[in-house]
Chains A and B, each alone.
Chain A
C-alpha cells in the first residue's frame, strides 16, 4: 500500500524536477552555429592548426620522393616521375590525389620530408561527378621540376589557397570572406 503512494510521489516529484531542468535550458545559450551565413569568420579560419582537412600540394616544395604514395594505406595518391628525354633531368609529371577516397588519416603528410604535402582547413568539396573530385596538382603536359635543396628559395603559397581554387562549386567558395585565389 505504501509502495502505491510512494510510486505516485516519486513520479510527481521527479517529473517536476525534470521540468525545472528543461525550463532552465530555455534560458541558456544554444550551442548551434548557424553556418555558413550567420557567423563572423568562416569556419575554415577557426579550425585548429592540426586539423586534417583536404590535402594540397605545394609543388614548389615537392622533391618527388614518392614517400606519400608509398605510405598511403589505400593508394589514393598517384605521383609519376619521368626523365626528360633531352636534359635527362627528373620531372614530376603527375600528382593526383583522389579526394573521394582519401580518409584524411595524415600518414602521407607525416611522411613528406619537405612539408609540400599538407592538410588544409578546407573540408567541404562536393561535385556531381566523382571523377571531378580527383585533385590534380600538376596539370597534364606541364611537368614540374622537383625542388632542389640548394636551388633558389621556393615560392610557397598560403596554406589552403591551392585547394580552394581547385574546388569548383564547393561550399568554400560561398562562405563568408573566403576568396578563391588563382594558383
Chain B
C-alpha cells in the first residue's frame, strides 16, 4: 500500500505531505487495503465452506445444501447469522480474559498472511522484501491462540485438542519452511513477487518442474501446509471422534465464527503459497514480467490466473479431506520428524547441488524441466484414466439396477 499511498500523496494531495500527513494518508490506505482483504477473506471463507459441502456431498452420492437461496448459495450467510445470534457462553471456571482473546490471535495469525500474498503484478498489499519469511512467521501466531483457547476453556477435551494442535503446528512449520527454502534457492530472494517473477508462464517454467528435488518438495510443502491448517488427514485436534471440536469445543457465537473463519481462510493461504512458490503465481504464458506490470488488463488477467490456480488447489485440498482417514497423534509426529524433515533436507542439499552443477538455462537443465513436466502430466493423466475406469466399472450395473443413467456431471445441480 505504501507505493500507492505515496503516489496519491505526491500527485493529488501535495499539501498533506508533512510527516503527520504522510502517516495519516498511509494509515487510511492501509486500513482500506486491509478492509478489502478482510472482505475478500470473509467472502472466500463463507463461499468455500458452502462449496466444500456441495463437493463433499457429490463425492458421497448426496446433494448438499441447496435450499437457502438459489442453489443454496446463501447457506453460509444463514450459518453465520445463526452463529452470531447464538448465546455467548463462557464456561464456569474458564479464564475469562484468555478465553476472550484466544480467537483473535488465531485470526490475526491467519489474516496477517493475506497482506503479503501477491494477487497479481501490482496487487500486493505489502510488497515486503522478506515476504515468504514473513508469511511463514506470522502463521506461527495461531499456535498462541490455540493454546490459549484450549487451556482457558477449562475442559479436559479442549486441553487435549489444544496441546495436540499446538504440537502439530509447531512441528510442521519446519518442513514447510524447508520446502519453501528450495524455491527460494531457485528464485534467489525471499520476496514473494521475486519468486513469481523468477518463474515463467508455461508449466515447464514453473518451479515445481525445475528439478526433481522441487518436484518432491511440493508434496512435502503441501503435506506440511495441510497439517498447519488442521485439515484431514491431520485433523486430529478437531474432528476426532473423541469429542466435538478440540480447542474450539467450548466456543459459541461470534467467537466460534472467528475460529471457523480462520480455518477456511487458511485453505486459501495454503493453496496460495503453494501456487506462488511452485506453480508460477500470476505469470501469464507468453507475456513478460514488464508487460504485466504496465498494462491494466494483463494485471487483471494475472489475477484471474492466480485465483484459478489457487482455487484448483483448494478443490484438491477439499477432495483430500473427504478421501483420507486421519492420522493418530504419534503417527503424525513421526511422519513430520522421520519422513518430511529428512526428505526436505535432502531436497535442499539436492537443489543446491543442482543449481551449481546443472543450472536452469543450460541444455541439461531445460531437458530435465521438460522430462519432469512430462512426468507430472503423466501422473495427472493416470489419475484421469483411473477415474474414468472407476466410473465405467459401475455404469452398466447401475443402469440395470435403477433404470436411470449414471452420468451426472458436477455442473448439473439438482
A: residues with CB less than 8 A from B are 4, 7-8, 12, 15-32, 34, 38
Residue of A whose beta carbon sits closest to that of B56: A22
- Cβ A27 vs Cβ B407 within 8 A: yes
Which residues of B lie under 8 Å from residue A12 when comparing CB positions? 219
- Cβ B391 vs Cβ A24 within 8 A: yes
Consensus secondary structure, chain B interface: helix
Taking the closest CB of chain B, its distance from the CB of A144, in whole angstroms, is: 45
Residue of B whose beta carbon sits closest to that of A21: B390
Which residues of A lie under 8 Å from residue B410 when comparing CB positions? 26-27
Which residues of B lie under 8 Å from residue A38 when comparing CB positions? 414
Question: Is B354 in contact with chain A by the CB < 8 A criterion?
Answer: no
- Cβ A29 vs Cβ B62 within 8 A: no
Closest 8 CB pairs of A and B: A24-B390, A20-B386, A29-B408, A24-B391, A32-B63, A20-B387, A22-B59, A24-B387
- Cβ B386 vs Cβ A25 within 8 A: no
Which residues of A lie under 8 Å from residue B323 when comparing CB positions? 15, 18-19, 21-22
Which residues of A lie under 8 Å from residue B407 when comparing CB positions? 27-29
- Cβ B386 vs Cβ A17 within 8 A: yes
Taking the closest CB of chain A, its distance from the CB of B140, in whole angstroms, is: 27
- Cβ B386 vs Cβ A28 within 8 A: no
Chain B 27-83 residues near chain A, CB threshold 8 A? 55, 57-63
Interface residue tally for chain B (C-beta within 8 Å) = 34
Contact A24 B383, CB 8 Å, known A15-B323, A30-B61, A31-B62:
no
Which residues of A lie under 8 Å from residue B59 when comparing CB positions? 22-23, 25-26
Find A29's partner among B219, B382, B406 (CB 8 Å cutoff).
B406
Taking the closest CB of chain A, its distance from the CB of B265, in whole angstroms, is: 24
- Cβ B61 vs Cβ A28 within 8 A: yes
- Cβ A24 vs Cβ B388 within 8 A: yes
Query: CA–CA, A144 to B319, complex, Å?
Result: 64
A-B contact pairs, 28 of them (CB 8 A): A4-B339, A12-B219, A15-B323, A18-B324, A19-B319, A20-B389, A21-B323, A21-B390, A22-B59, A23-B59, A23-B387, A24-B391, A25-B58, A25-B59, A26-B58, A27-B387, A27-B407, A27-B410, A28-B394, A28-B406, A29-B61, A29-B404, A30-B62, A30-B63, A31-B61, A32-B61, A34-B63, A34-B414
Consensus secondary structure, chain A interface: helix
Which residues of B lie under 8 Å from residue A24 when comparing CB positions? 387-388, 390-391, 394
Contact A28 B320, CB 8 Å, known A16-B383, A22-B59, A38-B414:
no
Query: CA–CA, A24 to B59, complex, Å?
Result: 8
Question: Is B405 in contact with chain A by the CB < 8 A criterion?
Answer: yes
Taking the closest CB of chain A, its distance from the CB of B65, in whole angstroms, is: 12
Which residues of A lie under 8 Å from residue B386 when comparing CB positions? 17, 20
Taking the closest CB of chain B, its distance from the CB of A18, in whole angstroms, is: 5
Taking the closest CB of chain B, its distance from the CB of A41, in whole angstroms, is: 15
Query: CA–CA, A38 to B60, complex, Å?
Result: 20
Which residues of A lie under 8 Å from residue B406 when comparing CB positions? 28-29
Chain B 281-331 residues near chain A, CB threshold 8 A? 319-320, 322-324
Question: Is B409 in contact with chain A by the CB < 8 A criterion?
Answer: yes
- Cβ A30 vs Cβ B391 within 8 A: no
Contact A25 B60, CB 8 Å, known A16-B383, A18-B324:
yes
Residue of A whose beta carbon sits closest to that of B383: A20
Residue of B whose beta carbon sits closest to that of A31: B61
Which residues of B lie under 8 Å from residue A30 when comparing CB positions? 57-58, 61-63, 408, 414
- Cβ B391 vs Cβ A27 within 8 A: yes
Which residues of B lie under 8 Å from residue A23 when comparing CB positions? 59, 319, 383, 387
